[in-house]
Amino acid sequence: MGKRKSNLPPLEDISSRKRRVKKMLGILKKNYPIGKRTALDYVNPIEMVVATILSAQCTDKQVNMVTPALFKKYHTIKDFANADVIELETLIKPTGFFHNKTKNIIASAKGILEKFGGEVPRSIEDLTQLTGIGRKTANVIKYAVWGDNDGIAVDTHVGRLSRRLELSYNMDAGKVEQDLLEVTPADARGEFSWMIIQHGRAICDARKPLCSQCPMANLCPSAGHADNIK
């Protein structure tokens, strides 16, 4: 589980954490009903790959404002691979970091064509070979497009809440994922990550967590002092 912070108690045993996670899932489902598996708008795998690249350091809402015009112009993987740099940069500029994102989109599309026969790959190992796609974003794509639950997307919200809920004390996203995989039901990993992200945005804020409004407060060892744990 990695080295824990000296001022925190030992983690509960795995069985206890599993029981807590099961209860959390029931509460989360009531508060954050699962509709589509991502807040990003897309209709096919390449659109999800592109939207995910655009979402780096940008809100999903802003990405969804940009992608209608983007996807109207570029329909296929070949379209993105052969995109004019200036035109693509202009379309995605509102998402920020548009120079790098343009390079990543074009490179990832070319990678799909050259390495995977023009089909967006489904495995973590293959997805992370694409430019601009890391393990977290690969897990996001896999769950959103195919409903795969073999991984857990660990962003800043999932990492923060995992530590506050004492499901993991790790700071490294890969190690947090491994800790969560041990205690999360195999058929609920994607939705657990998705709902934890929503809860992090709505209630368990990094600076001012609303513990008094949290429906999981009785399951959270940090309730009342969560702002001390980042």
Q: Which of 146, 163, 187 is the last residue of a domain?
A: 146
Q: pLDDT at position 35, please?
A: 76
Question: What is the value of pTM for the model shown?
Answer: 0.88
Q: Of the candidates 101, 86, 177, 94, which has an alpha carbon nearest to the alpha carbon of residue 132?
A: 101
Write down the catalytic residue from 155, 175, 205, 227.
Answer: 155
Residue 176 sits in the same domain as residue 222:
yes
Residue 115 sits in the same domain as residue 197:
no
Q: Which of 146, 176, 197 is the last residue of a domain?
A: 146
Indicate the number of domains in the chain.
Answer: 2
Q: pLDDT at position 1, please?
A: 39
Q: Is 61 considered catalytic here?
A: no
Is residue 183 in a domain? yes
200: domain CATH number? 1.10.1670.10
Q: Is 227 considered catalytic here?
A: no
Is residue 92 in a domain? yes
Residue 128 sits in the same domain as residue 175:
no
Q: Which of 112, 146, 180 is the last residue of a domain?
A: 146
Non-local (6+) Cβ contacts of 102 within 8 A are: 83, 85, 88, 89, 92
Write down the catalytic residue from 101, 136, 142, 179.
Answer: 136
Quick one: tokens of 185? Answer: 């039901």
Residue 52 sits in the same domain as residue 125:
yes
Residues spanned by the domain of 208: 14-35+152-228
Among all chains, which residue has been given the structure tokens 């990543």? 104
Q: How does pLDDT run along the chain (230 residues), one tens digit per residue?
A: 334 445 677 899 999 999 999 999 999 999 988 777 898 999 999 999 999 999 999 999 999 999 999 999 999 999 999 999 999 999 999 999 999 999 999 999 999 999 999 999 999 999 999 999 999 999 999 999 999 999 999 999 999 999 999 999 999 999 999 999 999 999 999 999 999 999 999 999 999 999 999 999 999 999 988 777 77
Sheet strands (E) in 59-214: none
Residue 54 sits in the same domain as residue 139:
yes
